[in-house]
Amino acid sequence: PPCARRSAPAAPPPAPAPSPGSAPPSPPRETRWRWLKVVFLLSSAAVGGLLGWSYLSAEDGVTEVLARHSENLQDKFIEIPCSEDYDSHKRFEGCTPRKCGRGVTDAVITREEASILDLHSGALSLGKHFVNLYRYFGDKIQDIFTEEDFALYRDVRQRIQQRIAQAFGISSASMYLTKPTFFSRINNTEAKTTHDEYWHPHVDKVTYGSFDYTSLLYLSDYTEDFGGGRFVFMDAGSNKTIEPRAGRVSFFTSGSENLHRVEKVHWGTRYAITISFTCNPDHGIGDPVLM
């Protein structure tokens, strides 16, 4: 008939009776069942894997990512109530935290600046994870760092200090750089001293005493340069992670409102600089200088 639809599916031709010696035209029942079994097993494995993975990631509480390594964060700040840790120390009004919290920014230090500083931390290899520039290099420090490097370090430190002052509503001039301020290099070799055991939960003010504001400048990228090694704020009932990214600055008040740890690094090398500030001028230190 002229109106017959051309696209009408053709009826399957009647299956020819299998003749001996010729291949069967459609898979026998057996084969189809085998395929169904394979599909079933694969999907059960996938579901099982997903369940296991979600169990493992929920193992230490609900985890929220504050900063992903793949994103370029302008500014992020989260205010949290201050702990009482500051009450047991001498107060410096206009500096000692009254407003507490944590912030992350990729807009203060460029990746290029981070990579210049990273070159130097690469030179700091002696099987120690935390490196004190002065103690480590002594007079040799001039062979490794140029005056421009120190100028860059000072500039970076100053910009971070200003960002912290702005975030917490204090004057940048009331804060002082304090010890320890250090390069850290973390890989998966064994810790040699308890000082190297970066993965323990801790409070910086308790661990380091003079800290009021802690900042971390990351020099390498999570998942590109190393695996594991995320920074974790351990809040009651939930963890908040920061994924390191070259040039990323994370900063927070150093009291127990910001209990934290660093995940173990599984592969690669993680470089960071810890730059810490105190409100107590007696605990202040100068910027590194070339003499």
Ligand X SMILES: O=C(O)CCC(=O)C(=O)O
**Active site members:** 270
Binding site for Fe ion (CB under 5 A): 204
Return the bridge partners of 226, or none.
222, 268
Q: How far is the CB of 211 from Fe ion (least distance, A)?
A: 8
Q: How far is the CB of 255 from Fe ion (least distance, A)?
A: 12
Token pair for 41:
């097993």
Size of the chain, expressed as the number of residues it contains = 291
Using the rule CB under 6 A, which residue among 265, 272, 275, 279 binds ligand X?
272
Compare residues 97 and 145 and give the one whose CB is closer to Fe ion.
97
Q: How far is the CB of 150 from ligand X (least distance, A)?
A: 22
Which SS3 state, helix, strand or coil, does residue 56 take? helix
Tell me if 216 contacts ligand X by CB under 6 A: yes
Token pair for 120:
């130097």
Q: How far is the CB of 101 from ligand X (least distance, A)?
A: 17
184-203 residues near ligand X, rule: CB under 6 A: 184, 198
Which residue do the tokens 């993975």 mark? 53
Compare residues 184 and 239 and give the one whose CB is closer to ligand X.
184
Tell me if 85 contacts ligand X by CB under 6 A: no
Using the rule CB under 6 A, which residue among 109, 262, 265, 279 binds ligand X?
262
Name the strand (E) or helix (H) holding 235. strand 231-235
Burial of 229 (0-12, 13-18, 19+ CB in 10 A): buried
DSSP string over 59-73: TTSEEEEEE-TTS--
Which SS3 state, helix, strand or coil, does residue 182 take? strand
Residues of this chain that bind ligand X (CB under 6 A): 184, 198, 204, 216, 231, 260, 262, 272, 274
